[in-house]
Amino acid sequence: MANPVLVEVTRGNLVESRHRGMVAIVDGDGTLVTSLGDIDLPVFPRSACKAMQALPLVESGAADAFGFGNRELALSASSHSGEPEHVAVATAMLKAAGRDESVLECGAHWSFEQPVLIRQARSLDHPTALHNNCSGKHAGFVCAACHVGQDPKGYVTYDHPLQAEIRDVMADLTGSPLGHDNCGTDGCSIPTYAVPLRTLASGFAKMATGIGLGTERGRAARRIIEACMAEPFYVAGTRRACTRLMKVAPGRIFAKTGAEGVFCAAIPEQGIAIALKCEDGTTRAAESMVAGLLARRFRDEPEIADQLMGIANHTMRNWNGIAVGDVRVTDALFA
């Protein structure tokens, strides 16, 4: 059966485009709270699982040794816009480990955000690896490797001990096997492993609640989640969805996007986590889906729910500022 249409894009009085999706909401015990579409299909979490990938940085003691606070941990779990503040923190993290940008293996790209890109184009000859949206995660990788005496060279490869450790961490959290069979290469060159949304949500519910994790891992997971919620700008950037979602209810919502229409979120006080994917990989739809689902979870607090629904459903304007249509979630999202 086809995945349900969860987001519609309208123009005039008609629906112009339709986005299908899959959603799993799971609690800390692994109990499925909500299921839409095929949640057993393996999905590459891409950047949505960066908070999981940051665990070795904390568990190894590297974060403490280098004096990292919320901003550094948030940036380690970020897909940032390459704004000056992001670049500065990534630079400082590498410096703390006695390294510089030459150690980064993520590649370089201009900011995905047009206003940032325009400022970059006017001030830079070309972007560096520090401007890569993943530079915070990679700086965290380098710090984690250096702290335990690993040579960071090749830290993005499947066989580097850091990637092996991340594989173990993610297998522990998701309960899904990770290996060559379900491995792809991410945009920043590290391995990414396709797992069912059901298990991805379960992993984030464990991180948010600590249930089923050892004391040390539970504490490290909670510290990363709290760092992201405390410094949402460092998880994404100006006007970005992750940042906006977390600012709606400070300290109460964790949200992280991934390429190709993935979104993960958690509400620690409710003990649940969400993992979703827009079937066609479109970010606009994944953002509306997660905002709508979070709104429903906060329906008893209308001020929060309304702000979240304002992110889920929004008017599109053309180059003259004329309202031409809407992006809106469907009733099927709340089925």
* Contact positions vs a second copy (CB under 8 A): 2, 9, 11-14, 16-20, 42-44, 105-110, 114, 117-118, 121-122, 132, 181-189, 192, 194, 260-261, 278-282, 285, 318-322, 324-325
Q: d(Cα 286, Cα 176) in Å, to the nearest integer?
A: 23
Q: Considering the complex, what minimum distance in angstroms separates the CB of residue 1 from a second copy?
A: 8
Q: How far is the CB of 79 from a second copy (least distance, A)?
A: 13
**Please, what is the minimum distance in Å from the beta carbon of residue 321 to a second copy?**
8
Pick the closer one to a second copy by CB: 60 or 79: 79
CB of 282 to a second copy, least distance (A): 6
Greatest distance between any 2 Cα atoms in the chain: 62
- The CA distance from 76 to 68, in Å, is 10
CB of 4 to a second copy, least distance (A): 10
Q: Cα separations (Å) of 127 from 16, 109, 111, 130, 188?
A: 36, 6, 8, 8, 14
Contact criterion met (CB below 8 Å) for 72 and 89: yes
SS3 content of the chain, % helix, strand, coil (to 5): 45, 20, 35
Q: By C-beta, is 116 or 249 nearer to a second copy?
A: 116
DSSP secondary structure letter of residue 181? G
Residue 211's closest CA among 272, 169, 170? 272
Residue number with CB closer to a second copy (181 or 300):
181
Closer to a second copy at the Cβ: 24 or 96?
Answer: 24
Judged by beta carbon, residue 66 or residue 263, the one nearer a second copy is 263
